[in-house]
């Protein structure tokens, strides 16, 4: 095969990977990339506190925990704000607050003040995630969502890889410059959102009535009868009218909460790459530079492989992908027990990085499928919280196991957790309809006393989303789809994510 043919094939693959997505998605993607290019605090907080400010490692750990606790709280608060006030206002508030708090943190000197502001930074920086994921689900068609989430995850890791290298040089010159640089980049994201991104939240109809798409921008939504340009009107999760969707609805959604629990288990595994792995490598006599080389494989592999792997998995059964990626993640870390050289450590990183590449967009897409249209913010907030809690628990887990039993037991535990997560996904999603083009919620037989509705048109199995004009209400006899009874974390795994 000639070089010209290979280049033409590569160009075609890239074009197919990025084509067909709405303009609003690319502005949102750009804001994600800019945000991650400015990342500094989360990466260099520990070094700043111990090397620049002279505080103890214990104090640095306390500040990191408070930063994570802020993220746990804001996941739920921001989810509610996303649904109640809209995606755009939540993004603007979150990013503006992040810029202000990060800049303020650079000027704090007293230990109590640093800890308090770090908590605020954690809250503000994590608050944008539910809004970003909900807006992405609003504006991208269901069949393109895995690809869209994958591209967004790719932007997160590309920005993280570049910023980590650049911020290291900045930190040698001035940590304050790093804080102010992140504040400026985050503020630039807020300006970009303000100028280029319209509100995408579907308009609410009367209680129980179909929703209307906002300005025809919504390319796909949750389960239910289709209205607008693919905006679903189902309330999901067995919820009643749209107006009644609250955090109680999310917590009672058994399948979704089960998915959140499995997401927490998977996140706990992935977090060991950043908390357990450096400790274990240090105990084996490897240097921080050795760990840096090994973990750099993760970022490089995601940047290089995310798009081609997404092309391979885009139209495959998400159930199998989640099962395989969970088991692969567990045993990828499990293999670390046999590592004795940098090359073997890097090989194990390759294994669980591949699992991460598959798991992140697939799991985020599943969350969207199980979320009702007007509850997307709350559902995404709960999902994001599973990763925030994992980030808090993982250091405690790795430290306890390594100190008491040794690193080999930690890697064995990861293999067990991966197996449990894979089995959990298999049990949870048996019978769940995840056919492409629908929201993944199986139609159920009408409950006793409620007559079945006959679908309009020639097909008895009309899709949940239609191509009707944005202001056209769904036919009165559209098939009723009941939401999933309950639940499942990248995002983003959020390893390396904002």
- How many Å from the N-terminal Cα to the C-terminal Cα in the chain? 40
Asked if pLDDT for residue 30 goes beyond 50, the answer is yes
- What pLDDT, on a 0 to 100 scale, did the predictor assign at position 478? 38
Q: What are residue 212's phi and psi, to 5 degrees?
A: -110, 145
Return the DSSP state at 452: P
Asked if pLDDT for residue 496 goes beyond 70, the answer is no
State whether residue 200 is helix, strand or coil.
coil
- Name the burial class of residue 104, with classes exposed (0-12), middle (13-18) and buried (19+) by CB atoms within 10 angstroms of its CB: middle
Q: How far is CA 494 from CA 303, 360, 427, in A?
A: 15, 8, 25
Q: Mean pLDDT throughout 343-365?
A: 91
Q: Label residue 440 by pLDDT band (50, 70, 90).
A: very low
More confident residue, 282 or 467: 282
More confident residue, 203 or 206: 203
Q: Mean pLDDT throughout 434-452?
A: 41
Q: Mean pLDDT throughout 312-339?
A: 90
Please name every residue paired with 226 in a beta bridge, in sequence order, or none if there are none: 232
Asked if pLDDT for residue 212 goes beyond 80, the answer is no
Residue with tokens 């997560």: 421
Q: How far, in Å, CA of 38 to CA of 45, rounded?
A: 14
Asked if pLDDT for residue 404 goes beyond 50, the answer is yes
Q: How far, in Å, CA of 239 to CA of 249, rounded?
A: 6
Q: Which two tokens stand for residue 199?
A: 């509100």
Asked if pLDDT for residue 481 goes beyond 60, the answer is no
Share of residues in the chain with pLDDT > 90 (%):
21
Q: How far is CA 123 from CA 37, 76, 203, in A?
A: 20, 10, 28
State whether residue 289 is helix, strand or coil.
helix
Q: Which two tokens stand for residue 319?
A: 């159930």
Residue with tokens 């535990």: 413
- What pLDDT, on a 0 to 100 scale, did the predictor assign at position 365? 83
Q: How far, in Å, CA of 474 to CA of 462, rounded?
A: 12
Q: How far, in Å, CA of 314 to CA of 120, rounded?
A: 38
Q: Label residue 394 by pLDDT band (50, 70, 90).
A: confident
More confident residue, 355 or 456: 355
- What pLDDT, on a 0 to 100 scale, did the predictor assign at position 486? 34
Indicate yes or no: pTM above 0.75: no
Q: How far, in Å, CA of 352 to CA of 331, rounded?
A: 8
Q: Mean pLDDT throughout 240-249?
A: 65
Q: How far, in Å, CA of 147 to CA of 310, rounded?
A: 6
- In tens, the pLDDT along 416-430 reads 999 999 999 998 877
- What pLDDT, on a 0 to 100 scale, did the predictor assign at position 152? 84
Complete DSSP assignment for 218-278: ----SSSSEETTTEE----TT--SGGG--HHHHHH-HHHHHHHHHHHHHHHHHHTTTTHHH
Q: Label residue 493 by pLDDT band (50, 70, 90).
A: very low
- What pLDDT, on a 0 to 100 scale, did the predictor assign at position 428? 85
Q: Mean pLDDT throughout 7-16?
A: 61
Q: Label residue 6 by pLDDT band (50, 70, 90).
A: low
State whether residue 459 is helix, strand or coil.
coil
Taking phi over 0 as left and psi of -120 to 50 as alpha, with beta for the rest, 79 belongs to alpha
355 Cβ contact list (under 8 Å, min separation 6): 324, 325, 326, 328, 329, 332
Asked if pLDDT for residue 468 goes beyond 70, the answer is no
- What pLDDT, on a 0 to 100 scale, did the predictor assign at position 465? 40
**Torsion angle in degrees (nearest 10) through CA of 50, 51, 55, 56:** 50
Return the DSSP state at 455: P
- In the Cβ-directed half-sphere of 303, how many Cα atoms lie within 13 Å? 14
Q: Mean pLDDT throughout 113-121?
A: 92
Give just the sign of the alpha carbon dihedral 197, 153, 396, 366.
positive
On whether the CB atoms of residues 373 and 73 are closer than 8 A, the answer is no
- What pLDDT, on a 0 to 100 scale, did the predictor assign at position 257? 93
- What pLDDT, on a 0 to 100 scale, did the predictor assign at position 204? 63
- What pLDDT, on a 0 to 100 scale, did the predictor assign at position 211? 45
Residue 435: count other Cβ atoms within 10 Å of its Cβ.
10
496 Cβ contact list (under 8 Å, min separation 6): 156, 157, 160, 161, 298, 299, 302
Asked if pLDDT for residue 432 goes beyond 80, the answer is no
Q: To the nearest whole number, what is the mean pLDDT of the chain?
A: 75
- What pLDDT, on a 0 to 100 scale, did the predictor assign at position 67? 85
């Amino acid at each position: 095969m000639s070089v010209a043919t290979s280049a033409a094939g590569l160009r075609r693959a890239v074009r197919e990977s990025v084509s067909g997505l709405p303009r609003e998605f690319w502005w949102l993607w750009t804001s994600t990339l800019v945000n991650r290019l400015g990342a500094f605090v989360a990466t260099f907080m520990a070094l700043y506190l111990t090397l620049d400010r002279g505080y103890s490692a214990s104090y640095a750990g306390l500040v990191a925990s408070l930063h994570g606790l802020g993220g746990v709280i804001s996941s739920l608060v921001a989810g509610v704000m996303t649904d109640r006030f809209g995606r755009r206002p939540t993004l603007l508030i979150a990013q503006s607050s992040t810029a202000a708090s990060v800049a303020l943190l650079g000027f704090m000197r007293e230990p109590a003040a640093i800890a308090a502001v770090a908590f605020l930074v954690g809250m503000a920086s994590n608050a944008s995630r539910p809004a970003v994921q909900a807006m992405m689900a609003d504006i991208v068609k269901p069949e393109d969502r895995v690809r869209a989430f994958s591209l967004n995850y790719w932007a997160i890791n590309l920005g993280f890889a570049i910023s980590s290298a650049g911020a290291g040089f900045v930190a040698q010159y001035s940590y304050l410059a790093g804080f102010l640089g992140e504040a400026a980049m985050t503020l630039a994201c807020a300006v970009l959102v303000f100028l280029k991104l319209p509100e995408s939240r579907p308009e609410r109809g009367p209680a129980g009535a179909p929703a209307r798409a906002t300005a025809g921008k919504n390319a796909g939504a949750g389960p239910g009868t289709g209205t607008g340009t693919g905006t679903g009107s189902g309330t999901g999760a067995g919820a009643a009218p749209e107006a009644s969707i609250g955090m109680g609805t999310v917590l009672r959604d058994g399948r979704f909460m089960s998915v959140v629990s499995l997401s927490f288990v998977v996140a706990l595994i992935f977090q060991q790459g950043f908390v357990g792995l450096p400790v274990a490598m240090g105990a084996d006599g490897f240097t921080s530079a050795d760990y840096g080389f090994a973990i750099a494989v993760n970022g490089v592999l995601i940047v290089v492989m995310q798009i081609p792997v997404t092309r391979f998995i885009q139209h495959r059964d998400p159930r199998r992908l989640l099962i395989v990626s969970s088991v692969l993640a567990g045993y990828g870390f499990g293999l670390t027990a046999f590592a004795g050289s940098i090359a073997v450590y890097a090989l194990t990183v390759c294994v669980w990085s591949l699992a991460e590449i598959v798991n992140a967009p697939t799991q985020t897409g599943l969350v969207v499928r199980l979320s009702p249209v007007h509850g997307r913010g709350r559902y995404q907030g709960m999902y994001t919280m599973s990763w925030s809690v994992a980030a808090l628990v993982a250091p405690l887990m790795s430290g306890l196991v390594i100190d008491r039993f040794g690193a080999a037991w930690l890697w064995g535990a990861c293999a067990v957790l991966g197996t449990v997560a894979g089995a959990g996904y298999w049990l949870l999603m048996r019978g769940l309809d995840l056919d492409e083009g629908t929201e993944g919620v199986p139609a159920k037989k009408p409950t006793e006393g409620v007559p079945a509705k006959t679908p309009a048109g020639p097909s008895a199995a009309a899709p949940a989303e239609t191509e009707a004009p944005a202001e056209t209400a769904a036919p009165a006899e559209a098939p009723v789809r009941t939401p999933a009874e309950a639940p499942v974390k990248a995002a983003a795994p959020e390893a390396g994510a904002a």
